[in-house]
Amino acid sequence: MPSDHPLHRSAFGLRVRIREDNRSVAHVTPLTPVPKLSKEASLGCLRTLQRSGVRQVFTSALRATDQSFFCELGFTLHEELLLLGHNFSTPLTPPLRPTRKGRRSDWSEILAIDEKAFPEFWRFDRPALLEAIKATPTTRVRVNTQDPLTAFAITGRSGRLAFLQRLAVHPQHQRSGIGRSLVADALLWSKRRFVSELLVNTQIENVGAKELYESMGFSKKNVGLAVLQWSADT
Ligand SMILES: CC(C)(COP(=O)(O)OP(=O)(O)OC[C@H]1O[C@@H](n2cnc3c(N)ncnc32)[C@H](O)[C@@H]1OP(=O)(O)O)[C@@H](O)C(=O)NCCC(=O)NCCS
C-alpha cells in the first residue's frame, strides 16, 4: 500500500490495522500526540475504511484527555481499562521459572497461546503481534522453556518508560508460577535499563492479572484508560 493511501498503516498520524480474521473490524492507534491529529483527515480515514467494508473501528487504550477527540468523531465507550505502574521503589524478586528469548520462529506458537488465553475481542492476529513488538524502539519477547511453549510476554521500552505490552499463559498451564516469572523478568530487564516506571493495562474484570500485578508491587494509577468504538451503522 503506498504511503499516501488513506489506509496506510500510519495515515494522518493514525496507525490503522484491519483484522485478518474479520475484515469488517479495524483498530486505530494514534502515532502522534492526539491534539495534533486533524479532525477532517481522521473523518476521511473513517469514511475510507467504511467504503472498504469496515463496519466497526476500535481505538487503542486511550487516556481520558485523548478520548474527547475521538468522541467528537462519533466514537463511544467500548471498555474501560485499569492502568497499573511499578516504580521500582520495592525490591524485585528474580524469576523462579526459566525463560528464554522469543524468536520469530516462535510466533505461531505465541499466537496459539494468545488465542487460548484471551477472549475473542482481545486476541492477537499476526499483524497485531507485530504491532505490539514494533510499538516501542526496544522490545523484549520472552517465552517459557517448555516444548511446546505455554507462555509469553512482550515488554517494550521507550526512554525511561517501559510497557508490559502482552502477557499470556495457556489456560492449561496457569497458576504454576510462569506468569509471575515472566513479569519478574520484565521488571528486572526494565530496572537494568534505568526505566523509572513499568506500565501495564488490563481489563477491570481481569481479577487474575490484577492480583498478579499488585502482588508484585504494581499499583493502580489515577488516570483511567478506555477503548472507544465507532460503528459505520450508527
Ligand atoms: C494473568 C496470567 C498471565 C497469570 O499467569 P499465571 O501463570 O497463571 O500466574 P502465576 O501462576 O504466576 O500466578 C501468580 C499470582 O497471580 C495471581 N493469580 C493468577 N491467576 C489468578 C486467578 N485466576 N485468580 C486470582 N489470582 C490469580 C495470584 O496472586 C497468583 O499467585 P498464587 O498462585 O501464589 O496465588 C494468566 O492467568 C493469563 O494468561 N490470563 C489470560 C491472559 C491475561 O489476562 N493476560 C494479562 C493481561 S494484562
CATH number for the domain spanning 178: value is 3.40.630.30
Distances (CA, A) of 16 to 5, 36, 65, 150, 208: 11, 17, 21, 30, 31
Same domain, 107 and 36: no
Ligand 1 proximity of 171 Cβ (cutoff 6 Å): no
111: left (phi over 0), alpha (psi -120 to 50) or beta: alpha
Distance spanning both ends of the chain, measured CA to CA? 29
Q: Is residue 208 part of a domain?
A: no
What is the distance between the alpha carbons of residues 154 and 111, in angstroms, rounded to a whole number?
A: 12
Domain assignment present for residue 177? The answer is: yes
Q: What is the pLDDT tens value at each position of the chain, 234 positions in all?
A: 444 444 545 667 899 999 988 999 999 999 989 999 999 999 999 999 999 999 999 999 999 999 999 999 999 999 999 999 999 999 999 999 999 999 999 999 999 999 999 999 999 999 999 999 999 999 999 999 999 999 999 999 999 999 999 999 999 999 999 999 999 999 999 999 999 999 999 999 999 999 999 999 999 999 889 999 999 987
Before 148, cis peptide (omega within 30)?
A: yes
Enter the DSSP assignment of 51. Answer: H
109/177 same-domain check = yes
Q: Are residues 124 and 73 in the same domain?
A: no
My answer on whether 20 and 67 are in the same domain is yes
Q: How far is the CA of 178 from the centre of ligand 1 (A)?
A: 9
Q: Do both 55 and 102 map to the same domain?
A: no
Number of domains in the chain: 2
Cell, residue 221:
494509577
Q: Which domain holds residue 71?
A: 11-81+224-231
Q: Is residue 165 part of a domain?
A: yes
Is residue 127 within 6 Å of ligand 1 at its C-beta? no
